[in-house]
Amino acid sequence: MARSVLITGGNRGIGLAVAQAFARQGDRVAVTHRGSGAPAGLLGVKCDVTDPPQVDAAFAEAEAAHGPVEVLVSNAGVTDDALLLRMPEERFTRVLDTNLTGAYRVCRRAVSGMLRRRWGRIVLVSSVAALSGTTGQANYAASKAGMVGLARSLARELGGRGITVNVVAPGLVMTDMARTVSAARRAEMLAGVPLGRHAEPDDVAGPVRWLASDEARYITGAVLPVDGGLGMGH
Ligand code: NDP
């Protein structure tokens, strides 16, 4: 059955691959963007997740076109790497505000409609960094670890109402974000990947789509690594 799906940061990278995976199976898909628009076949809604009124307006626009959001993928995220002593507070809180508080904002906005329908699927895109930590990414790793606590709390709060909340934790995925990582650092990460390659966005899209599917109906509060084995043991 076709569903109303909203993906933050679905205009490019992992979010776009996720959006296209849902669209391919016939869902009605809205993606947020901050000015780029959306590729054909997807409804683009403008939204900066750090701005609550924009979050509300984006949901209102998606819902007017597609009906209440039944599947939310919170994917928008940024990095701003620096070692701790070179990371002023503003760079820490800005990453938290986008990655973690942004996820809180979109979950909160989505959940009211899901509660009314007593059905919903929420998938948060975290990172292997949430569990293993990364040198130079205290802000990013903290935000991504926070998403796990957010998801698991919501899984407890909302499970009785037919809403599942899960996390995917990708490893190195070849997108604009990964291309900002130095070649040396990428090689170092790849050395720890048993599958011996980085991921393509589509490698993440399938697991996200599956977590929102009927087959995954008894899974909530899970953290699904999609990292080629990089984070094993965490
Ligand atoms: P990209 O840099 O390619 O895309 C980031 C997306 O987030 C863009 O759509 C961007 O929108 C959006 N975004 C950033 N800030 C905001 C904001 N304030 N409000 C709304 N949207 C925003 O990154 P990826 O596709 O690689 O990353 C997607 C997610 O996957 C992120 O959460 C990232 O942390 C996570 N991830 C990525 C990994 C990787 O190796 N690539 C590994 C593990 C996790 P715009 O186009 O407007 O800038």
- What CATH number did the domain enclosing 117 receive? 3.40.50.720
Token readout for 58 is 């984006």
Please say if 104 is a catalytic residue. Answer: no
Task: Give domain status of residue 138, yes or no.
Answer: yes
pTM of full prediction above 0.95: yes
Please give the residue range of the domain that contains residue 155: 4-226
* Domain membership flag for residue 234: no
Mean of per-residue pLDDT scores for the chain: 97
Q: Which residue's CA is the closest to the ligand 1 atom numbered 31?
A: 77
What's the pLDDT at 221? 98
Ligand 1 contact, 177 CB (< 6 A): yes
| 163 pLDDT higher than 90 | yes
pLDDT at 185: 85
Decide if 52 is inside a domain.
Answer: yes
Q: Is the pLDDT of residue 14 over 90?
A: yes
In a domain, residue 233? The reply is no
The residue whose CB lies within 8 Å of the most ligand 1 atoms, and thus the one to mutate among 78, 131, 150, 204, is: 78
Q: Which two tokens stand for residue 200?
A: 């393509």
Cβ of 12 less than 6 Å from ligand 1: yes
When mean pLDDT is compared across 59-63, 178-182, 198-202, 225-229, the lowest value belongs to: 178-182
Band (28; pLDDT cuts 50, 70, 90): very high
DSSP single-letter state for residue 85? G
Atom in ligand 1 nearest the alpha carbon of residue 128: 43
Q: Across the chain, where does the E strand assignment appear?
A: 4-7, 28-33, 43-46, 71-74, 120-125, 163-170, 223-226
pLDDT at 174 > cutoff 70? yes
67 is a domain residue:
yes
Q: Is the pLDDT of residue 61 over 90?
A: yes
Mutate to test the pocket of ligand 1, among 96, 105, 175 (most ligand atoms within 8 A of CB): 175
Q: What mean pLDDT do residues 97-110 have?
A: 98
In a domain, 231, yes or no: no
CB of 49 closer than 6 angstroms to any ligand 1 atom: yes
The predicted structure's pLDDT at residue 196: 96
Above 90 in pLDDT, residue 182?
A: no
Is 87 part of a structural domain of the chain?
Answer: yes
The C-alpha atoms of residue 33 and residue 54 are separated, in whole angstroms, by: 11
Question: What percentage of the chain has pLDDT greater than the value 90?
Answer: 94
Does 193 reside within a domain?
yes
**Of all protein residues, whose CA lies closest to atom 23 belonging to ligand 1?**
177
Cβ atoms 32, 45 nearer than 8 A: yes
Domains in the chain: how many in total?
1
Q: What is the pLDDT of residue 234?
A: 67
Ligand 1 pocket, residue 89 CB under 6 Å: no
pLDDT greater than 80 at residue 233 = no
**Secondary structure (3-state) at 40:** coil
**Ligand 1 pocket residue status of 225, Cβ below 6 Å:** no
